[in-house]
Amino acid sequence: MNQAFEKMKMLVGMEVEDEEQPQEESSFAFMEDFNRNCTLSTKQRLYGFVTCLVAGITCTLLSMLVFFNPVKFGVTFSFGNLLALGSTGFLIGPKRQVAMMLDPVRIYATALYIASIIVALFCAVYVHNKLLTLVAIILEFGALIWYSLSYIPFARSMVSKIMVSCFDTEF
pLDDT tens by residue, 49-106: 999 999 999 999 999 899 888 889 889 999 999 999 999 888 888 888 899 999 998 8
* Count of Cβ atoms closer than 10 Å to residue 117 Cβ: 22
Lowest mean pLDDT among 4-8, 22-26, 148-152, 158-162: 22-26
DSSP secondary structure, 96-112, as one string:
HHHHHHTSTTTHHHHHH
Would you state the pLDDT for residue 13?
60
Q: Answer positive or negative: Cα dihedral of 130, 132, 135, 137.
A: negative
Alpha-carbon distance of 79 to 140, in angstroms, equals 12
Confidence of residue 149 (pLDDT cuts 50, 70, 90): confident
The amino acid present at 34, given as its one-letter code, is F
Residue 73 near residue 67, CB atoms below 8 Å: yes
Residue 66 near residue 27, CB atoms below 8 Å: no
Alpha-carbon distance of 58 to 168, in angstroms, equals 39
Q: Answer positive or negative: Cα dihedral of 141, 144, 149, 152.
A: negative
Model pTM?
A: 0.70
Instruction: Categorise residue 133: left if φ over 0, alpha if ψ from -120 to 50, beta otherwise.
Output: alpha
Condensed to tens digits (0 to 9), the pLDDT of residues 17-60 reads 554 444 555 556 666 666 666 677 889 989 999 999 999 999 99
Would you state the pLDDT for residue 25?
53
Would you state the pLDDT for residue 8?
61
